[in-house]
Amino acid sequence: MHTAANGTWPSPWFRQLRNCPAPRLRLLCFPHAGGAANFFRPWSGLVPDDVELLAVRYPGREDRFAEPPARSMEELAEPIAQACAGLADRPLVFFGHSMGASVAFEVAARLAAGPLAPGLAALCVSGRPGPGKTRSRGLADATDEELVADLVSMSGTNAEALASPELRELFLPMIRADYRLLDRYGDHLAPGRLDVPVVAYYGDQDEHVDEDAVNAWSAVTRSGFAARSFPGGHFYLEQHAAPLLADLFARLDTSAPQATSA
């Protein structure tokens, strides 16, 4: 496959963040609610030399801003799964943070029924409760002030941008659309659907995700499950990207110990 001049694949669903001419695998990252592919750009210097780093480009943000955001999980996951056909020549590892964890799981579940199933090496979920543990917080219909206060409390990268009234007008509709998608999706994760290992990460000070909620992800796989926490809140991965990725790639090495928690 060839990379377009703007760093995207021929498919509009992926942005290439680190090129690798002959990768041993591809790490495909799924952003959080209100997030975008470039959230993962700092990881480009942290992945191993033989790994290609890609991120999913959701409609309604960055250079897909003119497109309407997805209204349902199916509307989002189905075309991403179809686009993954172009990545079938190398093993894939999915990493999804927050909303992206659910999107990554839904894409993985769709691939499990098709010819790409052997190519998915692992599903890594982050900052998101597992099945039976998610709860709607009603933020899709919150006031602007309530929504901004919630985002600031989580210390996400959008928090600073939301201090500007002009940028709020751009960001808040996109974030509301993502929250509405999650409200419609609910807690539909079905157990026992994957034959790939699942690793769940979370911040030990995340008010919305605790150890019990994270361990519920073990229900979505018939293969191995592991969980690990890092210091911090919902966006712990911004401060701990290097050790997070080191842990992720160590787990992909079959010779590495497969600790169940840390």
Is 136 in the active site?
no
The answer, yes or no, to whether residue 2 has pLDDT greater than 70, is no
pLDDT digits (tens, 9 = 90+) for 231-249: 999 999 999 999 999 999 9
Instruction: Provide DSSP, 16-38.
Output: EEE--SS-SEEEEEE--TT--GG
- Lowest mean pLDDT segment, chosen from 90-104, 146-160, 191-205: 146-160
User: In terms of Cα–Cα distance, which of 123, 183, 172 is closest to 150?
Assistant: 172
pLDDT at 193: 80
pLDDT at 151: 80
Q: Pick the catalytic residue from 44, 72, 98, 223.
A: 98
Name 127's Cβ contacts closer than 8 Å, sequence gap at least 6.
32, 97, 98, 101, 201, 202, 203, 206, 209, 234, 235, 236, 237
Strands (E), the chain: 14-18, 25-30, 51-56, 92-97, 120-126, 198-203, 225-230
Distance CA 101, CA 30 (A): 7
Distance CA 69, CA 43 (A): 25
Percent of all residues in the chain with a pLDDT value above 90, rounded to a whole number: 56
Predicted TM-score of the model (pTM): 0.89
pLDDT digits (tens, 9 = 90+) for 9-52: 568 899 999 988 889 999 999 999 989 999 999 999 999 999 99
SS3 97: strand
Structure tokens that stand for 152 in this block? 């600031």
Residue with the bigger pLDDT between 13 and 260: it is 13
User: In terms of Cα–Cα distance, which of 132, 129, 162 is closest to 144?
Assistant: 162
pLDDT at 246: 96
For the beta carbon of residue 78, count every other beta carbon within 10 angstroms.
Answer: 15
Class of domain 14-135+189-252: alpha beta
